[in-house]
Amino acid sequence: MKFSKEQLTAVTVHTVFEGDQSGDLQQLHNRKLFSGKPNTTYAMLNVSGEGTIYYGLGKEDEINPYLTTTYFHHLGKYLEKMNLPNVHLTIPSKIQEDSEMKAKVFEGLYQAEYKYNEFKKSKKEAFELTVSVERPDDMEASFITVEHVVKGAFVARDFVNQPSNQLYPETYAAQIVDLFKDTNVSVEVYDEKQIEELGMEAFLTVAKGSNRAPRLIVMKYMPLDQEEHITIVGKGMTYDSGGYAIKSTAGMVNMKSDMAGSAAVVGALYALEKVGVQQNVVGVIAAAENMIDGKAMKNGDIIGSMKGTTIEVNNTDAEGRLTLADAIYYAATELKSTEIVDLATLTGAAIAALGPNTTAMISNNDDLADAVLDASEKGCEPTHRLPAFPSHYKMIKGQFGELNNAPKGGGGAITAGIFLEHFAEGLPWVHLDIAGPSFGGKPFDYLPAGASGTGVKTLYRWIAAK
Ligand code: BES
Ligand code: MN
Ligand code: ZN
């Protein structure tokens, strides 16, 4: 998407609220042709595609950042269908004068351009919008930020959409190295032997069930002259078959997306670096595949961890928390982390609790939780914090090992979260379970089918607002 300070086109799209009676609108309204209902259009174009389009934004008192993103996303899709890549936009002052909502105009339009075409022989042509607006000086700065942040979400989507026969720990690490070459993000990749030297026994136990060797990927963006940094950790299962607790075909078919948490970490670092946000941030990914093999962990095994805590593996399909236990402990002890936020496609229970479009949060720190919740709202990534009570902490205790990776009895998104908390060593920590919103079967609001890149906008906004 491009932003033009000058109007280059004879196509004007007036985006208007319901009940706006200015200009032609009164006539159109009286003739019942257009009343401004959400996502409705009235086009008055000549054969060259020049003229005026009205686009409805619904009721003025109902508009908010999320709806602005969604409606402008649909407008972008409409312009693609109409083959109108160059448009001049007018935007109601309520949106243009609101610092959050005006950015959403671009966030919505730009996200309409996303396609994942890599494996299609007849690739759909890329549709790239060029947009000018009234009072462009008002809008230019928010466009520049949005451009990088949305691109960060696209980076995450592209990683998640890659199938697991193409994206596995080794190729994932190589692609991340490639993405950040010639940038201010440095990437360290640790192979199996180095992971063993670090003592990451839980991570390695999961990884050894696959022929594809694991990688620990550490990305450092350190613009400030100090050692301390925020750490963002992402679940990086490039495939989750369930292991010996094997999933059904239907439950497995989208499990290439089990690295979506880590892709959000990569996408956020991409955006932070491109914008040049002045915060030290380190990303950590323990990348592995959860597979079946003679060397794979089995249901009932008791394993160790980098922290030394013993874990009963009562379900090999609860593998994410095993890899994250070591990744979070590494962040808490080997790095100079001040705060840790992890993102993970961790539990089906998060979907059961909150539905498919909402992220579940668990945290040990109210201030950090509130800051991330605020960022998720501004990032249009709905997130809800779940509680953790003493009864939940009892549930994760093991019978023969110290912790149980798969407690029974419900509350699975909570027990998975506080399992991770055990490895954060008391640092302020937030866990985001993105099992639902990370990957969708069909387009939803402003998101496409497949990978959503969820988490990128929340992380970016949280860190940029510090
Ligand atoms: N990767 C899955 C969680 C998941 C499920 C993500 C559906 C996206 C969509 C995770 O590794 C898993 O299998 N969790 C188990 C945990 C259980 C065995 C305690 C689950 O949710 O069933
Ligand atoms: Mn699993
Ligand atoms: Zn998993």
CA–centroid distance, 91 to ligand 2, in Å, is 46
Q: How far is the CA of 206 from the centre of ligand 2 (A)?
A: 10
Beta strands at 383-385 and 439-440: parallel, antiparallel or unpaired: unpaired
Closest-CA residue, ligand 1 atom 5, reads 348
Q: Please answer whether residues 201 and 306 qualify as being in contact, where contact means their C-beta atoms are separated by less than 8 angstroms.
A: yes
pLDDT of residue 138: 85
Q: Is 347 in the pocket of ligand 1 (CB under 6 A)?
A: yes
| pLDDT score at 168 | 99
Tokens 């379900």 belong to residue: 315
Residue of minimum CA distance from atom 9 in ligand 1? 435
The rounded distance, in Å, linking the Cα atoms of 242 and 424 is 25
Say yes or no: CB of residue 348 within 6 Å of ligand 1: yes
> Does the beta carbon of 435 sit less than 6 angstroms from any atom of ligand 1?
yes
- Mean pLDDT confidence for 281-304: 98
Which pLDDT score, from 0 to 100, does residue 115 have?
95
Ligand nearest to the CA of 242: 2
pLDDT, tens only, 123-177: 777 899 999 999 999 899 889 999 999 999 999 999 999 999 999 999 999 999 9
The pLDDT assigned to 414 comes to 99
- Look at residue 380 in the predicted model and tell me its pLDDT: 98
Task: Ligand 1 pocket test: pick from 164, 313, 314, 317 the residue with the most ligand atoms within 8 Å of its Cβ.
Answer: 317
Q: How many CB atoms lie within 10 A of CB 434?
A: 27
| Residue nearest atom 3 in ligand 1 by C-alpha distance | 347
**433 Cα: distance to centroid of ligand 1 (angstroms):** 10
Ligand 1 site, residue 241, Cβ cutoff 6 A: no
Q: What pLDDT score was predicted for residue 108?
A: 98
For the stretch 237-281, pLDDT in tens is 999 999 999 999 999 999 999 999 999 999 999 999 999 999 999
- By most ligand atoms within 8 Å of CB, the mutation choice from 238, 289, 346, 420 for ligand 1 is 346
Confidence of residue 310 (pLDDT cuts 50, 70, 90): very high
Buried b (16+ CB within 10 A) or exposed e, 183-219: eebebebbebeebeebbbbbbbbbbbbbebbbbbbbb
Q: Which among 241, 347, 432 is the best mutation to test ligand 1's pocket, defined by most ligand atoms within 8 Å of the CB?
A: 347
Question: Would the pLDDT of 121 be above 90?
Answer: no
Residues 175, 287 contacting (CB under 8 angstroms)? no
> By C-alpha distance, which of 75, 113, 69 is closest to 95?
69
pTM score: 0.98
Report the share of the chain in percent with pLDDT over 70.
100
Q: What is the pLDDT of residue 18?
A: 97
**Interval 445-462 mean pLDDT:** 98
Ligand nearest to the CA of 438: 1
Query: How confident is residue 75, by pLDDT bands cut at 50, 70 and 90?
Result: very high
pLDDT confidence bin for 122, thresholds 50/70/90: confident
pLDDT tens, 49-69? 899 999 999 999 999 999 999
Q: 222 C-alpha to center of ligand 2: Å?
A: 33
Spatial distance between the Cα atoms of 318 and 314, rounded to a whole number of angstroms: 8
- Give catalytic residue positions: 247, 321
Instruction: Find out whether the beta carbon of 320 lies less than 6 Å from any atom of ligand 1.
Output: yes
Atom of ligand 1 nearest to the CA of 247: 13
| Averaged confidence pLDDT in the chain | 97
Q: What confidence category does residue 32 fall into, taking pLDDT thresholds of 50, 70 and 90? A: very high
**Closest atom of ligand 1 to CA, residue 290:** 11
Average pLDDT over every residue of 442-465: 97
Distance 185 CA to ligand 3 centre (A): 27
- pLDDT tens column, 89-110: 999 999 999 999 999 999 999 9
**297 CA → ligand 2 middle, Å:** 13
Return the pLDDT at 163.
98
Taking residues 382-407, what's their average pLDDT?
Answer: 98
Name the pairing type of β-strands 229-240 and 450-451: unpaired
Q: What's the confidence (pLDDT) of residue 124?
A: 74
